[in-house]
Amino acid sequence: MATHNRGKADEIRQLLRGYDVAVVSAADLGLAAPEETGVTFEDNATLKARAAAAAAGLPALADDSGLCVAALDGQPGVVTADWEGPTRDALVGMTRIQRELQARDIPDTPEARRATFVCVLALAWPDGHCDVVRGEMPGHIVWPPRGNGGHGYDPTFRPEGSPLTCAELEPSAKNAISHRGAAFRKLIAACFG
């Protein structure tokens, strides 16, 4: 798994449970994280997967994901992690989203605070072949953050049709509706089916 994010690696282990796959993260292998210079989620996922596959000589799965807030013109989008500041503190990013929404006088309603979690998975093989899939989860931003589960922006995102934030959902319930879960179902159908 081409990630240094422990939360993502744990979610991916859960999603691949039941398949004959051992998940080892780039951090576990001591691989450097490439600079994410792409302008789309697809660009960055592919870049990370290909770098890890080349460095490890193994198939590498990369995830590039982020939160796109409609009232913020799709921001933070591909730079979601950057909104967390240099310490990569998700609360910093969640607080920035709230400040930006308030600065634009966006009402605290589900319709006005529509957002989408996006996940793109790229599975790169040592021979250079790469499969890319995309999953999305619509919902909206809530404030203050709620729940202790999940990771990243989960406490401030409430999926469409759910009374709970992603951080309040049980992991299996979240994976059933999440952007990452949707992308994994597509990947599994394409590569493991």
DSSP annotation string for 126-159 = TTS-EEEEEEEEEEEE-SS---SSSSTTGGGEEE
Q: Residue 42: which of 139, 183, 157 has the closest Cα?
A: 183
Residues 86 and 98: beta-carbon distance below 8 Å = no
- The backbone torsions φ and ψ at residue 104, rounded to the nearest 5 degrees and listed phi first, read -95, 5
User: Which residue blocks in 73-135 are alpha helix, DSSP H?
Assistant: 90-103
Residues 167 and 145: beta-carbon distance below 8 Å = yes
Catalytic site residue from 10, 64, 73, 89: 64
Residues near 28 by Cβ (< 8 Å), separated by ≥ 6?
none
Task: Give the sign of the dihedral formed by CA 54, CA 66, CA 17, CA 149.
Answer: positive
Active site annotation includes 64: yes
Q: Residue 17: which of 193, 168, 188 has the closest Cα?
A: 188
Query: Catalytic amino acids?
Result: 64
